[in-house]
Amino acid sequence: MQSILLDNGETLTYRQSGQGGRVLLLIHGNLSSSQYWDVLMEQLPEDYQVFAPDLRGFGDSSYHHPIESIQDFAEDLQGFIRQLGLIQPMILGWSLGGAIALQLACNSPQLLSRLVLLASVNPQGFPLPKRDLYSRPIPGEFFQTKTELAQDPLVITPILKAFEAQDQSFFKSIWNQVVYTQNKPDAQHYRRYLRATLKQRNYLDVIYALSCFNLSFNYNGVVPGTGEIKKLKSPTLIIHGDRDYVIPKSKALQGVQMLENQPKLVILKNTGHSPLVDNLASVLNEIKAF
């Protein structure tokens, strides 16, 4: 692990591999860290130079100033790219990382060469629905404030308590139920991933930021759209699993309709929310071809 001090006082730790001319920046998802990119980094050819930072409040990076929006993460990474002198990297964002990558690409279209969205949040964000007594989502009703989210007894409160207790078995159960539904990492990798998950310090802030993230032209149930998605110019590849239970395939299809730059969409069969575990070979092939 290496580290870099940003102008805003935050320190981002990061992993680096390869020495080639193809620069790739990896942005991890929620409940994770740069550790989750290990298998991809090991398999990429040597002609790639890969950078995988821990986002602010994740892994070994600092969290001096709580994030208030996805924009905060994007600005951190803009500083990261500038300070390391990365010239138009390809940016790959997974899940939450996809939302950050979209924001970054809209902020500074000239900063990157290509954009890859892996099992990504779409431009309309990820508002969390309220649920009835049977845990079924209530159509059209979403948590509106961070205070409301913190009091959600079905999803948020149990996770916050698990972080407080550093309950690794709880998070393993969550990953098995909703992410590793098709395949699971081997035992050694899985232990590393769970230890990395427990380092997160900003879960509630992230969930609220995702609720308020909306680059589209439409209301998402929490906030109106900013219309910033029209600024996206980078060639874009969307990779999504057909059995993603966190961000369903339908959300990826909606995302394609929101992008005006004619993105390439690849739907991977028998793949859930972690294509790196379920279908690593196909992900690698699509990245290299793109």
- CA distances (Å), origin 172, targets 27, 162, 169, 228, 236: 22, 11, 5, 37, 32
Q: Is 37 helix (H, G, I), strand (E, B) or coil?
A: helix
- Cα distances from 117 to residues 121, 201, 266, in angstroms, run 8, 24, 10
- pLDDT tens digits for range 89-117: 999 999 999 999 999 999 999 999 999 99
Residue 46 confidence (pLDDT):
86
* Confidence (pLDDT) at 132: 86
Quote the CA–CA distance of 102 and 201 in Å, as a whole number. 23
Q: What is the pLDDT of residues 136-147, one digit of tens each?
A: 889 999 999 999
Asked if 178 contacts 273 with a C-beta cutoff of 8 angstroms, the reply is yes
**131 versus 244: which is more confidently predicted?**
244
Q: Average pLDDT of 214-223? A: 97
Query: Degrees (nearest 5) of the Cα angle 47, 49, 50?
Result: 130
Please provide residue 22's backbone torsions phi and psi, each rounded to the nearest 5 degrees. Answer: -90, 110
**What size, in residues, is the chain?**
290
Q: Where are the domains of the chain?
A: 2-289
pLDDT at site 225:
97
Q: Please enumerate in sequence order all residues whose Cβ is within 8 A of that of 133, keeping only pairs 6 or more positions apart, or say none.
A: none
- For residue range 7-21, list pLDDT tens digits in order: 999 999 999 999 888
Fold of 2-289: Rossmann fold (3.40.50)
Mean pLDDT, residues 267-274 taken together:
97
What was the pLDDT predicted at 252? 94
pLDDT tens digits, 61-81: 999 999 999 999 999 999 999
**What number is the average pLDDT over the span 45-67?**
96
Q: How do strand 2-5 and strand 129-131 relate by DSSP bridges?
A: unpaired
pTM given for the model: 0.97
Instruction: Please report, for the chain, how many H helices and E strands are present, in that order.
Output: 11, 10
The pLDDT, as a whole number, for residue 159 is: 97
**What is the predicted pLDDT for the residue at 221?**
96
Residue 135 reports pLDDT greater than 90? no
What whole-number distance in Å separates Cα of residue 268 and Cα of residue 272? 9
For position 256, what pLDDT does the model report? 94
Please tell me the predicted confidence (pLDDT) of residue 134. 82
Q: Say which residues have a Cβ less than 8 Å from residue 170's Cβ, sequence separation at least 6.
A: 158, 162
What does each C-alpha distance from 262 to 129, 206, 227, 230 come to in angstroms? 30, 29, 17, 12
